[in-house]
Amino acid sequence: MKRLLKNKLALAGMAIIIIMSVFAVLAPFLSEYQPNDIEIGNYLLPPSSAHLLGTDMLGRDLFIRMAYGARISLSVGLISVSISVLIGICLGSLAGFYGGRIDTLIMRFVDIMLCFPNIFLILALVALLEPSIMIIMAVIGLTSWMGISRLVRAEILSLKERDFVQAARASGVSNLKIISRHLVPNAIGPVIVSATLGVAAAILVESSLSFLGIGVQPPTPSWGNILMDAKSSLGVAWWMTFFPGVSIFITVLGYNLLGEGLRDVLIPRK
């Protein structure tokens, strides 16, 4: 923790993430408006004291829609990465610990998954299924675990011959407990770094899907579909594209900065 607090990149990333998280959590209390309140007479108003970030083509307050959109985008990023981390740790630890045919089978499956361009695979799956927040979380998580499984496998291959693992085996500890109590906790450093960077990637994927119209469906606000709504008023209402675009940029930057800082702290370079 001392090393983390001395790392300026990590601190900057943490500050951005905390601010965005507070913005999302406090969404119901930030404005008198609701995200789907339509006021036709107030359409495309520029930022003002009444509407801090302006309004969209239906007169909906952009500030409160951005706040509720932050909830969606951050939730999709965190939950989808949690799914990918869980799958990656399970398969990577099994491949690294048991080796042999199990390792070959799992790694060949990883190679097959990596043959498909990730974004096209996600687009195909989302297009085949009914677009919803839960489907998007699951699809992103189920198509982004391969790198984590390789990381965990490599770490466990180097750890399983260490003295503390041999001592656990000599004491009669089961393979499952050796993996869960001794190997995975000691291999978790690179996984934390990869997961932090993965949240940024997942937010970008969700925003891209929503922008294309196959992600989070209106009227539920997300940063991606707010950008999609702004296409028709691109030359008239600059605030419709500027604020969601900047929010995506800053949030992704925050997670990337935190990930780079954690890499310096958890995986020190020689």
Min mean pLDDT across 88-102, 128-142, 183-197, 250-264 is at: 128-142
Look at residue 152 in the predicted model and tell me its pLDDT. 93
270 has pLDDT over 70: no
CA distance 149 to 155: 10
Q: What is the mean pLDDT of residues 190-208?
A: 91
For residue 116, tell me if it sits in a domain.
yes
Q: What percent of the chain has pLDDT over 70?
A: 99
Q: What is the pLDDT of residue 268?
A: 62
pLDDT at residue 168, as a whole number? 86
Q: What does each C-alpha distance from 265 to 5, 77, 149, 200 come to in angstroms?
A: 10, 23, 21, 19
pLDDT of residue 39: 85
Through-space distance between the first and last CA atoms of the chain, rounded to whole angstroms: 20
Residue 46 inside a domain? The answer is no
pLDDT of 262 strictly over 60? yes
CB count within 10 Å of CB 171 equals: 8
Q: In total, how many domains does the chain have?
A: 1
Backbone angles phi, psi at 220, to 5 degrees: -60, 125
Reported as a pLDDT band with limits 50, 70 and 90, residue 149 is: very high
Q: Return phi, psi of residue 55, to 5°.
A: -130, 165
| Contact criterion met (CB below 8 Å) for 262 and 5 | no
**Residue 219 pLDDT:** 84
Residue 38 lies in a domain: no
pTM higher than 0.85? yes
- CA separation for the pair 218, 211 (Å, rounded): 11
pLDDT in the model for residue 165:
86
Which residues span the domain enclosing 202?
2-33+51-266
Q: Average pLDDT, whole number, for the chain?
A: 89
Characterise 100 by phi-psi region: left (phi > 0), alpha (psi -120 to 50), beta (else): left
Is the Cβ–Cβ distance between 34 and 62 less than 8 Å?
no
Q: Which amino acid is at 100?
A: G
Nearest in space to 122 (alpha carbons), one of 61, 204, 237? 204
CA geometry: angle at 208 spanning 69 and 67, to 5°? Answer: 10
pLDDT at 130 over 80: no
Q: Identify the sign of the CA torsion 175, 180, 186, 187.
A: positive
The per-residue pLDDT for 3 is 82
41 in any annotated domain: no
Tell me if 91 is assigned to some domain: yes
The rounded distance, in Å, linking the Cα atoms of 188 and 81 is 14
| pLDDT attached to residue 269 | 60
The pLDDT, as a whole number, for residue 134 is 87
Q: 47-86, pLDDT tens digit by residue?
A: 988 889 999 988 899 999 999 999 998 999 999 999 999 9
Contact 230, 244 (CB under 8 A): yes
- What CATH number is given to the structural domain containing 249? 1.10.3720.10
Is 117 a member of any domain?
Answer: yes
**Digit-coded pLDDT (tens) for 166-177:** 888 888 888 898
Domain-located, residue 40? no
Q: Which of 36-50, 96-110, 253-267 has the highest mean pLDDT?
A: 96-110
CA distances from 269 to 68, 117, 162, 258, 266 (A): 40, 31, 21, 17, 9
